[in-house]
Chains A and B, each alone.
Chain A
């Protein structure tokens, strides 16, 4: 079977997306900053380290419980820069708007972007607007690009996890992905779910104070916690062991996942981060996180191990174990 067309799976953030990047994109742009494939690139200019990141937002529906495409676009890029250990400063915004789009909806989106930028403490300093004929885009697409400064002494990177490090997640899993899914598909149990869209830069700032040894920071968006941890395990050539019992999932989110046969470990988050922290600093980092509104439910979910480099394992509730693989394509609801 020939595979000459781009499938939705190629955009799912999992293995197929990785392959697409490796096969089609990296060869033409090869350079050491790109090759790291972290959430953003780290650039060095006149002795100052900068983090630089871009992301496009095409979420459907554009308004959902807990946020809209506007704040998502600001928070997403703010978070990608924060995950480089940087303080995000400036953002650009590119809008692609479908002909016929309601101006009131655009105003709502821009107001949400403005509020999100204020909350994150970043300035939108340049932008671009395009309008395309009806049908050439779906309502509105937003691209944001951001730049931030990495404070001296901070050394976070996907390849920096070390044996013995503790794996911390800043809160419950799968809130955003299941909210969007239930809204998009008009599932009737959607009333209690809410996206976790939030800027995490102030949380990261607090975590990195006092020279605490935070080795890796990642926000587990598309592909979820499982895919992000696999990427870390591969980049750092270490194993990661998760404790099933300690993985936080809200009961209603777990219920919806169970019903559709989805694993919350693979569902997108938009206001959560994973931190890999040296064991001696884990308690301090955890306490700082729990004191922040965006990290109140933070907990340790596992540790970095020497065995099985490049792989993620789970110790299950009943005392068994299994592998936690990367996501391959979109999760699809099962038949029964």
Chain B
């Protein structure tokens, strides 16, 4: 996608038209949740938050992969990093997340071998180059990145790579939506649904959730015009009293989604109950390695013992991830918790709600 093409989606005139349309239509105060961290950042970076009418409250949901990763999972990653002769491979954001008493970054500074990769194929390459050592990939993320992890596991099996394994903390978007809708006191009027995850799972993946719990919801892209279009559709629906699932990102998202990607997900992983930070355990909302691929499961290959730990005292990440609080309402925000010294994960990832507020709102 060229930048010229992207620029076309933030053309000031079209943006102004959409902003005016939203302002003209929006009468009743509404609470919308952007589920995806990339949306949270885009809403700030583009300045959209500063131009919306006061009737629209935007809440940031549990869509930053690092942020919803439970403390126990982070502790498990760190415990793995401490094992002898293990190379940890991970996507970048995870490096700084504080566990109960350390972070991967601090483990790396202490001499542990922790390597940032951009693709799971890089992790496989590291395993091939280091046959005498165990290489573990930290599988964190949603349906967007999980297929690439699944593909790496399949490749490892195909070439008989014995020193590669994955710890899967992957999470699924639709079950989280259902849990959010049922969260007490949340009072949501609509969802801005994630564009990237929807490319994989397709519009149809949301239908069961919204059939059971009707809600205005629009799959939205990430350019300013995309987001304004999504918002305009949501406002129009809600003002008309409708609760529909709509697609404002048809150039990328289809009804069926990416079926080959869905197939490898179904082959390599199995749905399991998963602990989300802030949302507690949600049934069938996580992915563990399927029995057939159990030999690549790092939790089986290594003895990892992690205690149940409470989340950091005073940290409101859980309430922030469910839209019950905004970052400035957390007692630690900007005081004890900053990007340089984060207490909770929402301050760590560049796509975390607290980090976005800190960076763009000051």
Do A1 and B141 form a contact, CB below 8 Å, given A255-B2, A255-B3?
no
CB of A138 to closest CB in B, whole Å: 15
Is B116 interfacial (CB-CB < 8 Å)?
yes
In the bound complex, do residue B340 and residue A16 qualify as a contact, i.e. CB atoms below 8 Å apart? yes
CB of B119 to closest CB in A, whole Å: 9
Give how many B residues have a beta carbon under 8 Å from the other chain's beta carbons.
62
Q: How far apart sit A264 and B303, CA to CA, in the bound complex (Å)? A: 42
Q: How far apart sit A7 and B361, CA to CA, in the bound complex (Å)? A: 27
Q: Quick check: which of B8-16, B79-87, B181-189 contacts chain A, the rest being far away?
A: B8-16
**For B92, what are the chain A residues with a Cβ–Cβ distance below 8 Å?**
332-335
Q: Quick check: which of A108-116, A149-157, A213-221, A319-327 contacts chain B, the rest being far away?
A: A319-327
Do A320 and B91 form a contact, CB below 8 Å, given A333-B118, A336-B144, A336-B145?
no
Is A287 interfacial (CB-CB < 8 Å)?
no
Size bin of chain A's contact surface: 35 or more
Is B310 interfacial (CB-CB < 8 Å)?
no
Is B27 interfacial (CB-CB < 8 Å)?
no
- Report which of A7, A328, A331, A335 forms a contact with B65, defined as CB distance below 8 A: A335
**For A35, what are the chain B residues with a Cβ–Cβ distance below 8 Å?**
none
Q: How far apart sit A314 and B50, CA to CA, in the bound complex (Å)? A: 11
Is A19 interfacial (CB-CB < 8 Å)?
yes
In the bound complex, do residue B47 and residue A318 qualify as a contact, i.e. CB atoms below 8 Å apart? yes
Q: How far apart sit A331 and B349, CA to CA, in the bound complex (Å)? A: 10
Do A261 and B47 form a contact, CB below 8 Å, given A318-B12, A323-B361, A325-B358?
no
Q: How far apart sit A334 and B38, CA to CA, in the bound complex (Å)? A: 9
In the bound complex, do residue A254 and residue B362 qualify as a contact, i.e. CB atoms below 8 Å apart? no
Q: How far apart sit A257 and B47, CA to CA, in the bound complex (Å)? A: 19
**For A255, what are the chain B residues with a Cβ–Cβ distance below 8 Å?**
1-3
In the bound complex, do residue B96 and residue A329 qualify as a contact, i.e. CB atoms below 8 Å apart? yes
In the bound complex, do residue A261 and residue B351 qualify as a contact, i.e. CB atoms below 8 Å apart? yes
CB of A329 to closest CB in B, whole Å: 7
Is A5 interfacial (CB-CB < 8 Å)?
yes
Who on chain B is nearest to A19 by CB? B340
Is B103 interfacial (CB-CB < 8 Å)?
yes
- What are 26 A-B contacts defined by CB distance under 8 Å? A1-B98, A7-B109, A8-B109, A9-B340, A19-B340, A245-B12, A251-B2, A251-B4, A260-B118, A261-B38, A261-B351, A311-B362, A316-B45, A317-B224, A318-B10, A318-B15, A318-B46, A318-B48, A319-B15, A320-B48, A322-B360, A328-B339, A332-B350, A334-B91, A334-B92, A336-B197
Interface residues of B (CB under 8 A from A): 1-4, 6, 10-12, 15-16, 19, 37-38, 41, 44-51, 65-66, 91-96, 98, 101-103, 105-106, 109-110, 116, 118, 122, 140-142, 144-145, 196-197, 224, 228, 338-341, 349-351, 358-362
- With A316-B46, A325-B362, A335-B65 known, 16 other A-B pairs at CB within 8 A are A1-B102, A16-B340, A254-B6, A261-B351, A315-B47, A317-B15, A320-B46, A322-B47, A322-B50, A323-B359, A325-B360, A334-B37, A334-B91, A335-B141, A336-B144, A336-B197
